[in-house]
Chains A and B, each alone.
Chain A
Amino acid sequence: MYTFEYQLPKTLADAAKALASTGGKPLAGGQSLVAAMKLRLAQPGTLVDLRGISELAGIRKEGDALVIGAMTRHADVANSAVVKGAIPALAVLADGIGDRQVRNMGTLGGSIANNDPAADWPAAVVACNATVQTNKRKIAAGDFFKGMYETALGADEIITAVSFPIPKKAAYAKFPNPASRFALVGVFVAQLADGSVRAAVTGAAPAVFRAAPIETALAKSFTPDAAKAVKVDAKGLNNDLHGSAAYRAHLVSVMAGRAVAAAG
């Protein structure tokens, strides 16, 4: 690891100040960042640990939305009665991340800020048309994820929470890499309150994307067969040792079908 300075601010304002003055990086659970630092793939000059800011963790219902604090850990989302009541698919998704130990440290904010091409949370954020709240502004899901490991976040911007409008129906189906449990392909399908359908795909491409042909098919008929019948174009999909682009394209329809079946 390269050397770094460490700060543990107590308030969001202090954390923002620390980031702005040092050009450092926020630390959440460290499950991606500490690992990257160990490999010298990340070299923050200062780590600003968000752990001391209590307002960043927690889950609450706000009108027609479920709001999850950035520092809420995957295990706490998976166990939350509020989440299970409002959007059970999010509890299922959180429970399928990595393993127990990773879920006990890793957070929602850290996952979406990291925007790993195979991370699970981005699919839920995009499919539910969620809003990412930061210390500076609100960012629509569609504008947040920019590309592989890239987001709309500014250098000293801190995610505070994600607000998920409660959909009519939603489910997530993932085909996990058997070793890491990251998504080889994961599809989050949601029928939103206005009746429109969104299908967001993770793991298949450099970043999360909406599968338009699947959304069109499901808008006509919200059935597993309608999803499975769609032939997804393999162009631009990931082609690596875990699976070819054609394999992933096929998995997109299969996982979308499973998600629709689970959504009921």
Chain B
Amino acid sequence: MSIPLALTVNGKAVKADIDPRLLLADFLRTTLGLTGTHIGCDTAQCGACTIHLDGRAIKSCNVLALQAQGADVVTIEGLAESDGTMHPMQAAFKECHGLQCGFCTTGMVMSAIDLVARHPNADEKTIREELEGNLCRCTGYHNIVKAVQQGAAAMAK
């Protein structure tokens, strides 16, 4: 059985006929070719696949693409401006050396933007708690926390 799916991804209307089993992460990566959304664990643990579904950070490996029917999805590809200027949170990760291999980074940035939207003045403790669902094997989190703080300040401007 294939089912028609229609939603908005990074501001553009998207349509496809899909197998109901297709996960949102696979729809983004394989059907749309948006490979910035990473699949690390595929079991809802690591947060590498984090995207925004109607403005909320969720793990796209743990929802069906059909659960995004009619929704507004934003992925890491939707953050930069059309001229390539990075989103302030992306820029902060770069400046603060908030990444090493970069595998977790797209999910971290998506979570960080959701976090700052709710806690514009988040302190270190709040940032660490809010990033509970994002694992990084490289950085030790220290510079990620710094990047989120700097990104939050830049977003407030």
Contact = CB atoms under 8 A, between A and B. Distances in A.
Interface of A: 1, 3-6, 8, 27, 29-31, 34-35, 38, 47, 49, 51, 75, 98-102, 104-105, 179-181
29 contacts: A3-B21, A4-B21, A6-B64, A8-B66, A8-B69, A30-B62, A30-B63, A30-B67, A34-B23, A34-B62, A34-B64, A49-B66, A49-B67, A51-B67, A75-B56, A98-B132, A100-B114, A100-B132, A101-B50, A101-B57, A101-B58, A101-B59, A101-B133, A102-B59, A105-B53, A105-B59, A105-B62, A105-B63, A179-B45
B114 A35 contact: no
B115 A100 contact: yes
Interface in B3-31: 3, 19-21, 23
B82 to A, nearest CB: 28
B42 interface: yes
B1 interface: yes
A104 B44 contact: no
A66 B132 CA distance: 29
A31 B62 contact: yes
Contacts of A1: 21
B130 interface: yes
B85 interface: no
A132 to B, nearest CB: 24
Given A49-B67, A100-B115, A100-B132, 7 more contacts: A8-B69, A34-B64, A35-B44, A49-B66, A75-B56, A101-B47, A104-B58
B42 A99 contact: no
A8 B71 CA distance: 14
Given A100-B111, A101-B50, A38 B42 contact: yes
Nearest to B66: A6
A101 B69 contact: no
A101 B3 contact: no
A101 B111 contact: yes
Interface in B31-83: 42-45, 47, 50, 53, 56-59, 62-64, 66-67, 69
Nearest to B42: A38
A5 B1 CA distance: 7
B3 to A, nearest CB: 6
Contacts of A47: 20, 64
A102 B44 contact: yes
B63 A100 contact: no
Contacts of A6: 1, 3, 20, 64, 66
Interface string B120-136: 00000000001011100
